[in-house]
Amino acid sequence: MKLWTSLLAATALAATATPAAAQMRALSDPVVPHPDPESLFTSDDPVLHRNKQAALRIQRDLLKCGHWADAGNWLTDRYIQHNPVAASGLEGVIYYFTQIANVQPLDPCPALSADDPNGVVAVMAEDDYVTILTRRIVPYADDPTQTYTTTWFDTWRFVDGKADEHWDPATLPTGGPPAALDVNQVLQQAQDRALIEDLMWRYVRAIDSWNPDAYAAVFTEDGSFLGTQGRDNLRQMVVDLGANRNEDSPTLYHVMSNQNISFLSPSVAVVNYYWQTVTGGSPGAETPQLLAQGRGRDVVVKQDGQWLIRSRDVTPQGE
């Protein structure tokens, strides 16, 4: 007891002599990620297994590889957020990671690894909840060239295999006010938005006029529409569809409406919309007929200053 009292007194004396931050060093053992983190995302229980697999996709595809264009596959539209720097809702979390954190997509997307800076330590699942513990590497305040490790957690509540609510230990950042609005960035995004709208117009005109070359030209070289991928295959798809038409075939119009463009980065955006396929009609002609309708989600990318469709999905999963 006497030795313990002496140690406390010495510690207090040292703390008053120099700043606390300069004296403190981590006393704990380092946080060590699991050697095979993806093996942790399994369960014999089918519901827990489904939720763990969805958590894996969030941890790997979204948080590690930045594929936020696919976030709707793993997060609900209402996605309730308890991180104080990110708004609730699917679009809110996408905006945070792509516009505030400025995360860029990583292709190809590698598996989770023990070498990841935020390597997975453990995964726990119960009822509708999955918690992932990860390593966090933190620099010392008085010497940022040296670091220590601590533990971060993310907990999600799942509904039908999608994360509907999220918790983590984040706090509001300290320091000055947020940076001023970048006017040039706003103007550039407005220009890009107009170019994407023009891209969508050229898409529907190409298919409505059965122009295979113009149709293929609005896609990237590896662009895809459902199961058809690559410009040559997309062009042939339109050739084959056009060959099945004859003089009695009705004129078709592809209508895109309620269009919403969300920028995931300066060169990647997601276009959400409703679509309809209708037959032509005019005064004195047959009444137009609605042949099909649905919802679409396209991923568009900017390549050499030109916006192109990377993937067009008219039957996206989720809401």
Average pLDDT of every residue of the chain: 86
What are phi and psi for residue 106, nearest 5 degrees?
-110, 115
Q: What is residue 6's predicted lDDT score, i.e. its pLDDT? A: 40
pTM of the model: 0.54
Reply yes or no: is the peptide bond before residue 108 cis, omega within 30 of 0. Answer: yes
Q: What is residue 285's predicted lDDT score, i.e. its pLDDT? A: 65
Q: What is residue 162's predicted lDDT score, i.e. its pLDDT? A: 97
121 vs 250: which has the higher pLDDT: 121
Has residue 14 got a pLDDT over 90? Answer: no
Has residue 179 got a pLDDT over 50? Answer: yes
Mean pLDDT of the region 253-270: 88
What domains appear along the chain, each with residue ranges and CATH number? 30-167 (3.10.450.50), 183-313 (3.10.450.50)
Q: What is residue 87's predicted lDDT score, i.e. its pLDDT? A: 82
Q: What is residue 175's predicted lDDT score, i.e. its pLDDT? A: 64
User: Mean pLDDT: which of 32-41, 88-97, 101-110, 220-229 is highest?
Assistant: 32-41
pLDDT in tens, 24-82: 899 999 999 999 999 999 999 999 999 999 999 999 999 999 999 999 999 999 999 99
pLDDT in tens, 138-173: 888 877 778 999 999 999 999 999 999 999 999 987
Quick one: pLDDT band at residue 215, thresholds 50, 70, 90? very high
Has residue 19 got a pLDDT over 60? Answer: no
185 vs 312: which has the higher pLDDT: 312
Q: What is residue 288's predicted lDDT score, i.e. its pLDDT? A: 82
Mean pLDDT of the region 193-203: 95
68 neighbors 169 (Cβ within 8 angstroms): no
Of 131, 130, 126, nearest to 153 by C-alpha is 131
Sign of CA dihedral 263, 269, 275, 281: positive
Q: What is residue 36's predicted lDDT score, i.e. its pLDDT? A: 97
210 neighbors 245 (Cβ within 8 angstroms): yes
Q: What is residue 239's predicted lDDT score, i.e. its pLDDT? A: 94
- Burial code (b: 16+ CB inside 10 Å, e: under 16) for 29-47 equals eebebbeebbebbebeeee
Q: What is residue 99's predicted lDDT score, i.e. its pLDDT? A: 79
Has residue 281 got a pLDDT over 90? Answer: no
Instruction: Provide the 8-state DSSP code for 35.
Output: S
Q: What is residue 92's predicted lDDT score, i.e. its pLDDT? A: 83
Helix (H) or strand (E) holding 289: none
Quick one: pLDDT band at residue 282, thresholds 50, 70, 90? low
Q: What is residue 16's predicted lDDT score, i.e. its pLDDT? A: 41
Q: What is residue 133's predicted lDDT score, i.e. its pLDDT? A: 98
Q: What angle do CA 170, 172, 177 make, to 5 degrees?
A: 150
7 vs 98: which has the higher pLDDT: 98
Has residue 22 got a pLDDT over 90? Answer: no
